[in-house]
Structure 1
Amino acid sequence: MDNSIQIALVQTPLLWEDPAGNRKVLERKIAEVAQQVDLFVLPEMFTTGFTMHPKNLDAKEGVITVAWMQGLAKKHLAAITGSIVFFENGKWFNRLFFVYPDGNYITYDKKHTFTLAGEDKVYTAGQERVLIPYKGFSICPLICYDLRFPVWARNTDNYDILLYVANWPKPRIKAWDALLKARAIENMSYVVGVNRIGDDAEGHEYPGHSAVYDVYGHSMVHSVAEEVLVVRLEKGALEAARRKLRFLEDRDSFTFT
């Protein structure tokens, strides 16, 4: 039997700089998903919105949210992932946590901080790409602005799922759609992109467009509504496509320096 993974994309508005309020809303939405889910994916900075003012928050909020994620993961016997504002060693990070059902976790710090909004002046950029093993799949998690940099996403490690969490605004949403599809095609990988919806306190509108693409660039799900999308990804279908179209064997070799 082919390995498969059932993923829930939580497309939701976010309350501005209100971690407790966002946790409450998200906990309810996760609980309302009727079918069995292996992985819940939340947007970028899902407890605050895309704030450039982390000092407005209690520095302990990140630790509180991680404990909340661990509790939910154990309760629903599912992994949960998304990025949050996190304070550590005197620095702020836009840090993604992938929490396993047993409460253990792996982290990824956003590599490409969004200079247009001054994120580079507030948050410390990450330097390492990570791969996450789960349910027979290898998952590469990235965050929002990382999507514009194909070298950072290049499938040099034979990952199966390229996963993006984002606060991607309406004026540039066509780029989001196009780049998610391109990343799937060029990397012969499933691509999962979860964006928020609604307005934030800075006047930005977010239209959703959370989506999943297969290795051919076909859209498996796509939404502009406030909803939780559930999609099943099949490892066998991915492997069959790679056997048929051996494009990854012709990829350029390079290393990051």
Structure 2
Amino acid sequence: MSDLTVTLIQTQLHWEDIDANLAMFDQKIDSIKERTEVIILPEMFSTGFSMKPEKLAQTMDGSAVQWMKKKAKEKNVIITGSLIIEEGGQYFNRLLWMLPNGQYGIYDKRHRFGFAGEDNHYAAGDKRLIAQVKGWKICLNVCYDLRFPVWARNTMQDNGEPAYDVLVNVANWPERRSTPWRALLQARAIENQVYMIGVNRVGNDGNDIYHSGDSSIIDPVGEIVYHKSHDEDIFTYTLSRAHLTELRGKFPFLKDADKFMIL
């Protein structure tokens, strides 16, 4: 299996302004000069973390999803991030894994942030999404999911391989709780023996809540490969398959993990 190159976009967001955010991400993605295969955007990248889905939700045929399709095809990359989506009379904080050919996977955020009333506005998902690209298996989470390790737990499959190799978390995680964010990113990488990628926004949102970013890439033993606070940034990095395989071979901890099922 070959290496995988990913690009993280840490940015401010235009509060509840879909058109402005899509135009901004157009420019930021166009500015990427390195070859990359996956571009990762923050949680609710088209609106910010809003509790007004009645005003802002789009369907899967809406402009934000169409933009993802167009941009992924234009740049021949995978684009992922979450959006406010209406479906079947319910609202979801939905992450899309958009392929260049227009096909996509979806993950509806499992753990809604009750502290901010997210559970009063959005329905919960009940299925994990583990995407695949170039032999890499990538588990996709959204923000508050980071606090719940059972949901993200890596397990050995019947073929003797771990369920996934990379855990991605896209977020609007406030600066006032940045210490748990940084600690939990490292913990998830270590306990699951995976590359952990956290992509957070920066700046104040429409509720005057400040976000420091702290987007990070952490390797399977918890070493911090990349970390950025406060400033906007676009960072491209190549995940090493050989490094992952070597660490798992040297420290075969996953085979000793407890077996369980999530009901």
TM-score of the superposed pair, with normalisation by structure 1: 0.97
**Matches of 2:135 and 2:38, distance apart in 1:** 13
Q: Which amino acid aligns with 1:232?
A: T
Q: What is the aligned counterpart of 1:254 among 254, 257, 260?
A: 260
Listed as ranges, the matches of 1:9-20 within 5 Å are 9-20=8-19
Report how far residue 63 of structure 1 moved. 2.4
Instruction: Find the residue that maps to 2:111 and give its secondary structure.
Output: coil
Aligned CA-pair RMSD:
1.1
Q: Deviations over 1:66-96 (max 9, x none)?
A: 1110111111110000000001111100000
**Following the alignment from structure 1 to structure 2, what is the Cα–Cα distance between the partners of residues 219 and 178?**
11
Identity rate, percent: 43
CA contact (8 A) 1:62 1:87 kept: no
What letter corresponds to residue 202 of structure 1 in structure 2? N
The offset of 1:64, in angstroms, is 1.6
The aligned residue for residue 159 of structure 2 is none
1:230 pairs with one of 225, 236, 243 = 236
Deviates more, 1:57-66 or 1:116-125: 57-66
Which shows bigger deviation, 116-125 or 222-231?
222-231
Question: Among residues 179, 184, 192, which one is paired with 2:189 in the alignment?
Answer: 184
Instruction: Please give the residue correspondences for 1:31-70 in structure 2 after superposition, counting only pairs within 5 Å.
Output: 31-57=30-56, 59-60=58-59, 63-70=62-69
1:160 correspondence with 2:165: yes
Deviations 1:24-54 (A, max 9, x none): 0011001101111100000000000000011
| 1:239 equivalenced with 2:245 (yes/no) | yes
Equivalent residue of 2:62, what SS?
helix
Distance 1:4 1:221 in 2: 17
Gaps of 5+ in 1: none
When residues 212 and 205 of structure 1 are mapped into structure 2, their CA distance, relative to the original with a 3 A threshold, is same
Moved over 3 A (4+): 58-62
**Cα deviations by residue, 1:90-127 (Å, 9 ceiling, x for unpaired):** 11000000001211100000000000001001000000
Determine the C-alpha separation between the residues in 2 that align with 1:192 and 1:75.
24
Q: Which residue of 1 aligns with 2:179?
A: 174
Q: How far apart are residue 58 of structure 1 and its match?
A: 5.7
**Could you say which residue in structure 2 is the equivalent of 1:106?**
105
Number of aligned residue pairs: 256
Q: Distance in 2 between matches of 1:245 and 1:134?
A: 25
Distance in 1 (CA, whole Å) between partners of 2:165 and 2:213 is 24
Any idea what SS the aligned residue of 2:83 has?
A: strand
Q: Is 1:62–1:84's contact at 8 Å kept on the other side of the alignment? A: no
Measure, in 2, the Cα distance between the counterparts of 1:207 and 1:111.
24
Change (3 A) 1:62 1:206: farther
Shift in CA distance, 125/65, structure 1 to aligned 2, threshold 3 Å: same
Deviations 1:155-201 (A, max 9, x none): 02520000000000011001000000000000000000000001011
How far does residue 59 in structure 1 lie from its aligned partner after superposition?
A: 3.6
Instruction: Give structure 2 stretches of 5+ with no counterpart.
Output: 157-161
What amino acid is aligned across from residue 172 of structure 2 in structure 1?
A: N
Aligned to 2:142: 143
What TM-score do the two structures reach when normalised by structure 2? 0.95
Q: Which amino acid aligns with 1:123?
A: Y
1:121 aligned partner: 120
